[in-house]
Amino acid sequence: MNAVAAARSDNVTDSSTQSRTGLIDRLGLGWFFRLLSSSIGQKFVMGVTGLLLCGFLVAHLAGNMLLFVGEKSFNEYAHALHAQWELLAIAEAGLLLLFLAHIYLAFATTIGNLKARTNTYTLRQTKVPGRIIGANSWMFISGSVVLGFVILHLIDLRFALRSGIDYLVESDPGAPFHNTVAVLSNPLSRVIYFVGVIVLGVHLSHGFSSAFQSVGFNHPKYTPMIKILGKIFAVVIAVGFASIVVFVPGMWK
Amino acid sequence: MNHASSTNLNLTLKIWRQAGPQQVGGLKTYEVEGISTDMSFLEMLDVLNQQLIAKGEEPVAFDHDCREGICGTCGVVINGQAHGPDRGTTTCQLHMRRFQNGDTIVIEPWLAKAFPIVRDLVVDRSAFDRIIQSGGYVSVNTGNAPEANTTLVPHHVQQDAMRAAACIGCGACVASCKNASAMLFVSAKVSHLASIPQGQSERSRRVLNMVATMDAEHFGNCTNTGECEAACPAKIELTNIAKLNREYMTALMYSKE
Ligand code: HEM
Ligand code: SF4
Ligand code: FES
């Protein structure tokens, strides 16, 4: 039975008549498989992972704002964080999972979309009043730029692997602050970080409110506020991180 | 005999011509003269076709039936907009007074992988039929008209159901979406039937099956750009897609289906 015919048959989702031969079925994980393979399930998971990543951004920005306070505060914060190494390891694994899921689904949905629209109109004009083709048409591209930035950022500071940057060894108590300023003073990192966080803001200017719609939350009482909140959130994240890139290296010469 | 307020337009039309599903198509230019502003868009195409027939050429194939905005059969992309420039309007209800003398109008068929071109402006929308066949119905026997107050449906719920039921299945949502997503169409039917008592017994199965068919028919994913809502002649709202997402996730996580 081909996929269309299968979907057409009334009993396709009737658990009592489904054959239970595969491993997925024997473990009762059919729902999970459908969550990750159906269009709506995929969008739901994208929305949830996107929002959880937004939560991470808030925590990360708050911690990094200590770079403006001074060397001592930032190092103390970093050491306190790393003292919780068990929790940190779990958090990092969680973050990695969120990123991998979000990125996998970004590819899966975008490829599906390109396959669904194989040819384009000679003339194309929006009917949404005041819409300029903006952030919502550039989600895959803005996400990819963010991915590039995140990879460089991990190489720079999580793994301290960039050549030409004079890192202090991790055991040195001054390492967190010193290494951060050293990386931010590197011209290549500086430019890419700046572009990366601005494009992240663009991604969020659509992503934040879009995620609520994807998880099914659209309500006349709250949706107008969520839309505005999404724009404000995008600006706060972009300007917040960009201010670190722009001002911190000069402040602590 | 001219109506007092009507004027006549001379227009340049660029129309997608394609002899068959496998043939290569392209835009062809035609001139039409003396088009009354009282005419509908389809009547303007009728005039063109009459001209073509008189010259011994093949007329432009386009879909139409009721010509009063209720059947959903008509529908072309006019100057890059599904059903043309007006909101909440089908192609058959679009009037030539929306255009100026000397205008060039580009007319293309709905484009989507799931809507293959049959000929010229006619596309095959049977994918929509298959989605409806997979769950867009109620199969309980409702019997004779019951006593009016035995099944209470609050007015606002009834209004939501009615607004969702207004979908005429024209496919403009798919045509206008950059991802050729059918979610507005599916959400209209799912919301409609999930709102009323008759729809409850098949509620979970309906949404799971309709979404499975939608995916199998190669429609794209919603990215919340809102083009479908703006193009929809029946003014189906995006809130229905959020409701579809809720219905689907609830069925997936909590139902036994
Ligand atoms: C810190 C990193 C990131 C955050 C906070 C973030 C956040 C979000 C949010 C909130 C959404 C909305 C989800 C929805 O519409 O349901 C989203 C969508 C999306 N993201 Fe990300 N994202 C990040 C990184 C990435 C990366 C690395 C990619 C990789 C290519 C990516 C690609 C996409 C795509 C394609 C969408 C779907 C857009 C749409 O459906 O309109 N994102 N993101
Ligand atoms: S939702 Fe609107 S645009 Fe889509 S098929 Fe129904 S009436 Fe047409
Ligand atoms: S012909 Fe019936 S809606 Fe246009």
Residue A121: which of B80, B87, B257 has the nearest Cβ? B80
**Whole-prediction pTM:** 0.92
Nearest CA-CA partner of A220 in B247, B243, B167: B243
Q: Which whole number is the average pLDDT over B99-126?
A: 97
> Does residue B45 fall inside a structural domain?
yes
Say yes or no: A6 and A107 in one domain. no
Q: Which whole number is the average pLDDT over A163-178?
A: 91
Per-residue pLDDT reduced to its tens digit, B20-78: 999 999 999 999 999 999 999 999 999 999 999 999 999 999 999 999 999 999 999 99
Measured between CA atoms, the residue of chain B closest to residue A18 is B257
> Does residue B2 fall inside a structural domain?
no
Say yes or no: A6 and A87 in one domain. no
Domain hosting residue B170, numbered range: 125-254
Which residues have C-beta within 8 Å of that of residue B55, sequence separation ≥ 6? none
pLDDT of amino acid A24:
78
Give how far A207 is from chain B: nearest CA, Å: 9
How far apart CA A193 and CA B55 sit, in angstroms, is: 65
Q: Do B113 and A115 touch (CB under 8 A)?
A: yes
Residue B224: which of A8, A115, A213 has the nearest Cβ? A213
Per-residue pLDDT reduced to its tens digit, B79-102: 999 999 999 999 999 999 999 999
Say yes or no: A90 and A191 in one domain. yes
Domain hosting residue A119, numbered range: 38-252
> Confidence class of residue B142 from pLDDT cuts 50, 70 and 90?
confident
Say yes or no: A92 and A161 in one domain. yes
Per-residue pLDDT reduced to its tens digit, A120-166: 899 999 999 877 766 678 899 999 999 999 999 999 999 999 988 99
Say yes or no: B161 and B114 in one domain. no
CATH number of the domain where residue B183 is located: 1.10.1060.10
Q: What average pLDDT does the structure give for chain A? A: 90
Q: Do A38 and B178 touch (CB under 8 A)?
A: no
Domain tally, chain A:
2
Q: Which whole number is the average pLDDT over B226-245?
A: 97
Residue recorded with tokens 């300023």: A181
Residue A11 has pLDDT above 50, yes or no: no
pLDDT of amino acid A7:
45
Contact B232, B183 (CB under 8 A): no
Say yes or no: B185 and B169 in one domain. yes
Q: What is the DSSP string of A193-226?
A: HHHHHHHHHHHHHHHHHHHHHHTT---TTTHHHH
Say yes or no: A182 and A80 in one domain. yes
Atom of ligand 1 nearest to the CA of A51: 10
Say yes or no: B157 and B247 in one domain. yes
Give the end of a domain, one of B53, B83, B118. B118
Atom of ligand 1 nearest to the CA of A215: 16
How far apart CA B210 and CA B198 sit, in angstroms, is: 17
CATH number of the domain where residue B15 is located: 3.10.20.30
Per-residue pLDDT reduced to its tens digit, B150-202: 888 999 999 999 999 999 999 999 999 999 999 999 999 999 999 999 899 99
Residue of minimum CA distance from atom 8 in ligand 2: B170
> Does residue B1 fall inside a structural domain?
no
Say yes or no: B135 and B245 in one domain. yes
Per-residue pLDDT reduced to its tens digit, B13-26: 999 999 999 999 99
pLDDT of amino acid B145:
83
| Greater model confidence, A251 or B45 | B45
